[in-house]
Structures are given as structure tokens and as C-alpha cells.
Amino acid sequence: MRQKSLVYSSGVVDVVEYPAVVISDDVLAKTLFVYIGDLERAVFSGLVPLTRPLVPGSSGVVRVIEVLSGRTEYTGKYYTVTPLGERGLLGVSVNGLLSNYVSLDDSYLEEELTSPQPQDALRSLFNHVVHLASKCEEPVLVEGCGLIGVALGALLGEMGFENQLYCESGRRNAVLLDLNVTTHISNLSKKWRTLVITSSSASSKYRVLRELEYSNLVISALSLTEWIPIRKSYSVRVSFVGRGDFRGEVEDLGGEIKKVLHRVYRLVRVIRAGDLDSVKGLLPPRGLGTIIVLD
């Protein structure tokens, strides 16, 4: 069983082939679908400093082949893969999914699937969006127009929450979903109940954090936020949202989530890749990203 991986290093993307699968964690799996989007864009734009070659691909769907830890309940089953695991962000801190076979810590396995479809590569990200929405009190300002930002704006709209998006780039993503969006902070109200940080843009985050008033700050772990410039005179409740128990929230918002998933999925490209060499031209991803189907 030979392993092929797409590797990014020093601005160069290449396909590396190994004579056998490199085992680094407990779970050995076959990659089926990989979503590439905001995290990969951050890596390729240099926002994430890399100290070693990296395999991109932060979320998707795999079929588990073998589990070395003895947890045989995973073997042979299909699972969604979340970027939020115990070893750091997948495809950022540790090698991601753009390989025909991958070795993962089991903390990255999220939901078991019976008949996986390409859109299931987005499920872990939508679960994260639901978790973010559960922390919001209206009116809500969502910073960022990547997949997390626009999906959150769309979901809050389905929930009946007053919300607006602030985007220094990617405005078209919000416009295509008919969301209330602005690119100039001067066009925003100065006071909000909730501010949600979703993008990796330091300038965008700094601007809204410093220039607006809010009492409830919600930060996505996928925004790569490491510092928060809050005025000393403010009293702000801060929620840093990583991986959590979202299942009750997903059940409560089942209808709304399906509507949003359908709307967003139509804007995500789905590409069938006969080999990893054909994936090179898809990086860095454009728009709301791409789901890659690995044959």
C-alpha cells in the first residue's frame, strides 16, 4: 500500500510518494473527500509560519482501515474529519488530508456516516458554525466572509437574528447568499451586542475589535486569533469556540441548518481528482473553496 501526499514547503507544492504509509498516529484511513478553503488560503498566503513541510487539507471524510490503539469500533466505518483535534489544527499544526491514505489521531474523527457524499466534507465546519451561533445574542456583527462567516450569517438569518457581515475581502461570497454585508467600517453601527471573529485577517480583526463597542465577543478557533486588543474601559464576555458538544444544538436547528448547507454548498466547487497532481492548480483555493473527491 503506497502513500501519495501533496506537500507544501517554501512556497512550492509537490506530490511525494512513499513506498508504504507513514504511520504517525493511531488511526489509518483512506481519504475520500477533502475540503480546502480558508485555512489552506491562510497557509499559502504566509499568514501561518511553517517550520517544516506540510500536507494541507483541514476537513473532509475518510474510511477507517485500521486503529492501532485497539478501539476497533472505528474500523471499516466512514467518518467526517474536523480540523479541531487534540494535536492542533489539522492541515496547519499537523499534516492534513491531501493524501490517498492518512494517519490521524482519533480526536479528529467527528461523526460516523453511512453513505458519505461530497457535501459531507463540510459537515464538521457547519457543526462549528452552529456552535458559534449558540453563543450569539443579537444584534450580531460577523467579521469575515469566508465559509465560516457567510454560513454563520446565513444561519443567524434563518434563526431570525439581526446580523451584518464586515468583510475586507470576499464580499462576493456574502452577496451571492443575499446577506447584509459592508466592506467599510464607517458604514457600520458603532454598537453591537455580539461580535464574532471568523477570519484570519489581522487587519480586519484589529479594526473591528478596536473601533466598535460590544459586550459579547465570540472567537472561532479557526480564525487563528492569538491576541485580542480590547479597551480597558470595556466589560466584555469572551468565548473562544473550538470543538464542543454541538449535537443538541444541531437537533434544535435541523431545518435551518439544512437550508443553509444547501445554499452554501451550491457555491463550493466539487472536483474529482484522478491523482494528486491535478490538485496543485486548485491551491490556494478561491471563493468559498473546493471539495476534492479522491478516486
- Is the predicted pLDDT of residue 111 greater than 70, yes or no? yes
Which of 19-28, 147-156, 165-174, 257-266 is predicted least confidently?
Answer: 19-28
- Domain residue limits, the chain: 3-123+268-294, 135-245
Task: Provide the pLDDT for residue 199.
Answer: 96
For 260-284, the pLDDT digits (tens) are 888 999 999 999 998 899 999 999 9
For 143-159, the pLDDT digits (tens) are 999 999 999 999 999 99
Alpha carbons 201 and 192: distance in angstroms, whole number: 20
Residue 254's pLDDT band (cuts 50, 70, 90): low
Task: Provide the pLDDT for residue 12.
Answer: 92
- Is the predicted pLDDT of residue 247 greater than 70, yes or no? no
Task: Provide the pLDDT for residue 250.
Answer: 53
For 40-83, the pLDDT digits (tens) are 999 999 888 888 999 999 999 999 999 987 777 889 999 999 99
Average pLDDT over residues 188-200: 97
| Residues 135-245, CATH architecture | 3-Layer(aba) Sandwich (3.40)
Q: Are 230 and 224 in contact (CB under 8 A)?
A: no
- Whether the CA torsion 120, 4, 26, 10 is positive or negative: it is negative
**Residue 105 belongs to what H/E stretch?**
none
- Is the predicted pLDDT of residue 32 greater than 90, yes or no? yes
- What CATH number should be reported for the domain whose range is 3-123+268-294? 3.90.180.10
Average pLDDT over residues 214-222: 96
Q: Are 88 and 94 in contact (CB under 8 A)?
A: yes
- Is the predicted pLDDT of residue 103 greater than 90, yes or no? yes
Residue 136's pLDDT band (cuts 50, 70, 90): very high
Task: Provide the pLDDT for residue 253.
Answer: 63
Task: Provide the pLDDT for residue 49.
Answer: 81
- Is the predicted pLDDT of residue 179 greater than 90, yes or no? yes
- Is the predicted pLDDT of residue 124 greater than 70, yes or no? yes
- Whether the CA torsion 191, 192, 193, 195 is positive or negative: it is negative
Residues in the chain: 295
**Residue 294 belongs to what H/E stretch?**
strand 290-294
Which of 16-20, 92-96, 272-276 is predicted least confidently?
Answer: 16-20
Distances (CA, A) of 118 to 5, 134, 162: 20, 26, 32
- The DSSP symbol for 67 reads E
pTM of the model: 0.94
Task: Provide the pLDDT for residue 20.
Answer: 78
Alpha carbons 103 and 152: distance in angstroms, whole number: 31
Q: Are 133 and 156 in contact (CB under 8 A)?
A: yes
The chain-wide mean pLDDT, for the chain, equals 92
Q: CB under 8 Å, gap of 24 or more: what pairs does 72-76 form?
A: 74/27, 74/106, 74/109
- Is the predicted pLDDT of residue 235 greater than 80, yes or no? yes
Task: Provide the pLDDT for residue 274.
Answer: 86
- Is the predicted pLDDT of residue 232 greater than 60, yes or no? yes
Task: Provide the pLDDT for residue 256.
Answer: 80
